Structure 1
C-alpha cells in the first residue's frame, strides 16, 4: 500500500514520527511538507530530532491569509497526488494543511485517513474547528484518540470507519521522555527548582492577536504571584500536571471533565485565582491510550 502523508505544522511533525516509523515497516510512504511552518526552528529541526524521514516534496507555501494559503496547498497537494497515485491520503490534526490534504483527496477520489478525528471545541470562531469538521466529513477512516471523539462524530451522524486508536502525541511523549529527562538542562539554565514554577503558553489567535486579551492574560499571571516560565494542556495531563487553559473552550474536553484542566478565559482575576488555588479533583484515568496508537493506526490503514 502506498500512503501519501501531508504535514505542514510543527505539532503534525511530532504526531507523524511514530506513525511513519510503524508505517514504513510494511508499506510505502510518500511525505509531502506543505511548508506551512517553514523556518529551520519549526521544521527541519523536528525532522532531525524525532527521526522523521525527510519530506519527498516541500511545497514551500509559507504563511498567508487562510484562503490563499489553503488554496495554494490544495493545488500543490493535488499535483503531487496525481503524479504519485497513492492508495490512501493521510492527514493529521486541524491545520490548513489538514484541510487542503482532505480536499485534494476528496476531489481525486483518494480514500482519506484522519488522525485525531472527532475533536470538537464547539467554537466555530476557531479556524481549526472548521478544519476539523470539514476534514472529518470528507474522511473514510477516522482515527480517534478516545471515546469522547467517537461521541462527537456520532452526534454528527458519522459512525462508519471510526476507530479508537489512542493518541499519537502520547506515543511521542513516551518515546522521548527518558531522553528529555536525561539531557534537558533548561531548569538549570534559567535558575529554576523542580516543582517551584508554572509553565505558560499563549499562542491561540484569540489570545495573542488581541492586544487587550493578551494584556489581561499577562496581568492575571503577574497578579498570581507565581513563578512562571513562558505548556500545553494534553502534555500536562500526560505528565501528571494540572493545567489552566486560557480559553473559553477546548477540543480536549475530557481533561476538563476529569478535573485536571480548568478553562479560565482571559479575565485577570480568574487567571490569578486559578494559578494560586487550582488542584486536580480526581484520579487520572488513561484517556489517551497506552503509547501504541501508531501501531493501531497502521493496522487500520492496512485493512
Structure 2
C-alpha cells in the first residue's frame, strides 16, 4: 500500500511527521513525502525536516511563490507527473493550504482516494482562501479525519456521510507531545537569559494584519505597550518585516526598549518559547491549538476561528481587530492573574496519528478484499 503524504507549508511538516512515523509501524505501507515547495526557505525547511526526524522529501516540486491561482495550477501540473510515476493507493493531505486542494484535485481526477487530515474546520469567512480550500478538499475526500466536535458538526451539516468521517484527535498535538522533552533540553528560554513567564511571545503574519500601514502601526503600538510590563519576544515573519520597512515603521519597532526581535525559529525552539510564555499574542491558526494544550493564555487577532474548541474549551481569546487599548487591557488582566482557565480537548493525547493509520489500513484491506 503506497501513500503519498503532501507537505507545502511549515505547519504541514508538524502534521505529517507523526503520520509518517505511524505508517512505519505497518510493513505493508510504503509512505512517501512530496514537498510542493509552496512555502520554501532552504534554512527553515532543513531545520524543520531535521528536527521532526522526517526523511528528505522523496519529491520536491519547487513551486515557490506566485498568486493562489498560479500556485494551484503549477502544483497540479507537477504533482500529476509524480502521480503517474508512483501510482499510489492513497494521497494524504493535511490542513488547508494551496497544496492541499491542488494535490487533492489531481488525485481524485486520477481516481485515487484522498484522505484529509484536519477536516471539517470552518471559520465561516469565505474571503479567506484557506476556508475555500477546506470546503473543497472535504467535498472530494474519501476519508475525513477530524480534530474537534465542531468538525463533526460542520461535516454533518454539509451532508458528508458518517462512514467517511472519523473523530481521531489532533496530529499537531502528537508532534508537540512527542518533541516536548527534546524542546525542553534545548532550553531556548534559558539561553536567552529569560525566566519562565518572564516574557510575552508574539507572532504576526496574516495579510489582513500586516499588509496595511494602519495595522502595522497598531502592531507597533501593541509591542510598545506590552513591553512596559514584560520583555516581548517577536520572531518576525519576512512578510511583516518587509512591510514595516516599506511603511517606514521598522526603525520605530527596533527602538522599543524591552523588545527582542528574532529570526523565525525552528519548531523545537519555538515550542520551548511557547511553553514558558506568560502570554502569546498571535494571528496564527496552529498556535491557538498548541497554546490550548500547553494551557498558556493566547490572544488571537482574528474575528473568527476555524478552531472554536480553542476558545470554548481552551485558553484562546479572539480579538476582532488590532485595537491597542483592548490588547493592553487584556494583557494587564492576564498578568494580574485573571487569565481565562482552559482545558485540553478530547483525544488531544498524542495518539491521533496511530488512530489514523489504523483506519487507513483497515479501509484499504477491505477495499482490496472487495
Give TM-score, length-normalised by structure 2. 0.78
Between 274-283 and 226-235, report the one with greater CA deviation.
274-283
Shift of 1:170: 0.7
Q: Who is 1:39 aligned against?
A: 41
Q: Is there any run of 5+ residues in structure 1 with no aligned partner, and where?
A: none
Q: Who is 1:99 aligned against?
A: 101
Cα separation, 2, equivalents of 1:280 and 1:122: 27
Radius of gyration: which is bigger?
A: 2
Cα separation, 2, equivalents of 1:254 and 1:236: 12
Shift of 1:288: 4.8
Q: Is there any run of 5+ residues in structure 2 with no aligned partner, and where?
A: 235-279, 281-286, 364-370
Alignment deviations for residues 62-100 of structure 1 (CA, whole Å, 9 cap, x no partner):
111110011100111112112211111100101011011
Shift of 1:293: 0.5
RMSD value over aligned CA atoms? 1.6
Cα separation, 1, equivalents of 2:47 and 2:223: 31
Q: For 2:81, which of 79, 82, 96 is the aligned residue?
A: 79
Cα separation, 2, equivalents of 1:125 and 1:273: 30
4+ aligned runs moved over 4 Å, structure 1: none
Shift of 1:284: 0.9
Indicate if the aligned counterparts of 2:8 and 2:36 stay in contact, CA closer than 8 A: yes
Cα separation, 2, equivalents of 1:257 and 1:62: 37
Give TM-score, length-normalised by structure 1. 0.95
1:192 aligns with 2:251: no
Between 62-71 and 39-48, report the one with greater CA deviation.
39-48
Q: Who is 2:25 aligned against?
A: 25
1:119-268 equivalence runs, <5 A: 119-160=121-162, 161-184=164-187, 186-224=188-226, 225-227=228-230, 228-230=232-234, 232-258=287-313, 260-264=315-319, 265-268=321-324
Q: SS where residue 192 of structure 1 aligns?
A: coil
Shift of 1:21: 0.9
Alignment deviations for residues 29-58 of structure 1 (CA, whole Å, 9 cap, x no partner):
122110112222331221111111211111
Between 10-19 and 281-290, report the one with greater CA deviation.
281-290
Q: SS where residue 214 of structure 1 aligns?
A: helix
